[in-house]
Amino acid sequence: MALHATARESNIIDSIKKYFVDNLVTTEGIAVTFDVALSEPKIQGRMVDRWVACDIGTIVLESVSEVNFELFLCTRRDNEGFRLAQLRDTVMGYLTNAGSAGDGKKSIPFYQSSATVAWTLLGGMLITDVIESRRMKGPDETKYKILTVRLKFGAKV
């Protein structure tokens, strides 16, 4: 028996990837990787000095399902961590509606993905929590923070 589109891990992961590529890469010009490492990624043959690494974690499938993931916000050659603070502010803008008249919650569009046909919008995944770590420094002078994000969405299981 095939899984319903709302219960497919590939749709969940593809939707999260699309959200960050569309917003951080395309709109903001920030490098994003879905391979977690604190080392500088090469993007089209050049090293970058600010990037976001996304690590998709646990998925709990129920009628109200949940997915947790971590965003590693990283900078290099960043005196006093000012550029890390700017990166954090930019990313948080895509995770919350802080200061809006609403409840401050934001959604990530949830798609049925496909390699051959147009994607179909299934609904949204509500960002319910964003937990921010302290600022940390790697042995290679990479400065980073980790944002732990929780999404909730309806699924047919």
Q: Which tens digit of pLDDT belongs to each residue from 25-71?
A: 999 999 998 877 656 666 666 778 899 999 999 999 999 999 999 99
In angstroms, the Cα distances linking 126 to 78, 131, 149 are 33, 15, 10
- As a whole number of angstroms, the distance between CA 74 and CA 102 comes to 30
Topology, domain 5-36+46-154 = STM4215-like (3.30.2000)
Q: How many CA atoms lie within 13 A of 113 on its CB side?
A: 16
Tell me the average pLDDT of the chain: 90
- 128 against 98, higher pLDDT: 128
Query: What are 49's two structure tokens?
Result: 């000095």
In this predicted structure, the answer to whether residue 100 has a pLDDT above a threshold of 80 is: no
pLDDT confidence of 98, banded at 50, 70, 90? low
- The residue ranges of every structural domain in the chain are 5-36+46-154
Classify 85 in phi/psi space as left (phi over 0), alpha (psi -120 to 50) or beta. Answer: alpha
pLDDT higher than threshold 80 for residue 104: no
Per-residue pLDDT band at 138 (split at 50, 70, 90)? confident
pTM given for the model = 0.90
